[in-house]
Structures are given as C-alpha cells and as structure tokens.
Amino acid sequence: MIVRACCLAACLLVGLAPAASAGTYRLDDSLTHTTPANVQMQWRPIEPGLRDSGMQAWVRVNVRIDTREWVGQRGQVYLVMERDDSSSITAEWTTEGRLLPGRIGTGQRTLVYSGTITTATLEDQFLMRLQSLADWRSDTRRLNFHFELDTQ
C-alpha cells in the first residue's frame, strides 16, 4: 500500500509541474526590474507631415527569469505587454545577446527565447524604447509586463 501511495504522489507531482504538458505558462520574473523605476516620456522631434510626432522614453530592463522549474524543457519564451485602458504604446528593445531583441505593443507578446532551457535563470539586459502618440487619457499610466513560456 505504501509503495503505491508514494508512486501516486510522485505521479501527481509530475503532473502538477506544468513543464511536462504542452501549453502556456507564466514565468516567475519577480526579480526583473527597470532602471529607472519611473519614467518620464519626452517629446520626439517633430517630423514634418505628422500631426503628432509623439513621445518616447528609454529605460533599462534588468531581466531575471526564474527557470528552475523548466530546466531541460524545450519551448518559447515570450515577453508580454499587458493591455491597459489607455491608448496604444509600443516597446522596442535590444539585448545583450542572451534573449532576442524585439518590438511589441500593448496587448501583444513577442518571442525572446526559443530552444531548450538549460539554466536555472534567464538573464539579460534590455535597452528599451517606449513610444506613443500624445493621446493618453491621463498624464500617468502603469505598464505591466510578464514573461510566459510556450511548451509543445
């Protein structure tokens, strides 16, 4: 009886560790932080012919994703910019090379890593530029990001 119970617990644990099944899983990026923590948008230079040349800001994102649960797992890691109730904003970044550069808008996601996860953390530093038109509903807003993993 005891041996079968132990096997049942092990099997349940394996089933509850999400990496084992195909799907999309949110990753622990709670140690990811930006520099600065608060950003002031700046006016972009006026472009002739455009009604609104918009605003931009630069920020460094120190990415640290806890991937201990996924070591050995093959999949794709995406950066997600969650949608807010204001106007659209785009984020475009370059990296130090561990993750992929890219571009996303609010409510979108973009691939930053594809392959087998071999380490307990995925770390990189993004130089990210935020751009938007001057059409916000308020003078401040909060952008929420997260990383998620697609497994096959």
Partner 1 sequence: MLRHGLVLSTALTAALFAFEAQAWSLSIASAPRRVFLHVGNGTIDGNNSLVNRVEVTVPVNQLGNGTPLPMNSTSTQSSSLYGDNYLTCPTPASQVMIGASYRRNNNNSPASARLSVTSPANLTNASGDSIPFSEISWTVSAAGSANPGVIPAGTFNGGTQTLATIPANTYIENCHSFRYANSALRAAGTYNGRVVYTLSAP
Partner 2 sequence: MKKAFVLKSALALALATPLIASAESQLVTGTGTAAGASARLDFRIIIPGFIALRVGPGAVLTNNSTVGAVEFTVSETQVTADGTINPSSGAPVDVALLSNVGNVAFEASGADLTAGTDTIPLSRISATVASGNLAHPTFNGAPLSVAPTSGRIVNRSGTWNFTYNHQGATDPVPAGTYSTQVTYTASLP
Summarize as ranges the residues that interact with partner 1 (CB under 8 A): 1-2, 5-6, 8-9, 12-13, 16-18, 25-30, 32-34, 37-43, 45-48, 51-53, 55, 57, 59, 61, 66, 69, 82, 87, 130, 134-146
Q: Map the footprint of partner 2 across residues 82-141, applying CB under 8 A.
A: 94, 127, 129
Q: Which amino acid is at 69?
A: E
Quote the CA–CA distance of 56 and 127 in Å, as a whole number: 13
Rank residues 55 and 149 by Cβ distance to partner 2 and give the closer one: 55
Residue 110 CB, nearest approach to partner 2 (Å): 18
Quick check: helix, strand or coil at residue 4?
A: helix
Instruction: Confirm if 122 and 67 have CB atoms less than 8 A apart.
Output: yes
Residue 131 CB, nearest approach to partner 2 (Å): 11
Burial class (CB in 10 A: 0-12, 13-18, 19+), 149: buried
Quote the CA–CA distance of 36 and 33 in Å, as a whole number: 9
Task: Tell me which of 1, 3, 38, 40 binds partner 2, using CB under 8 A.
Answer: 40
Residues 6-35: x where in contact with partner 2 by CB under 8 A, - otherwise, as a string: ------------------------------
Rank residues 40 and 152 by Cβ distance to partner 2 and give the closer one: 40
Quote the CA–CA distance of 88 and 60 in Å, as a whole number: 20
The encoded tokens of residue 150 equal 């697609």
Binding site for partner 2 (CB under 8 A): 40, 42-43, 56-58, 94, 127, 129
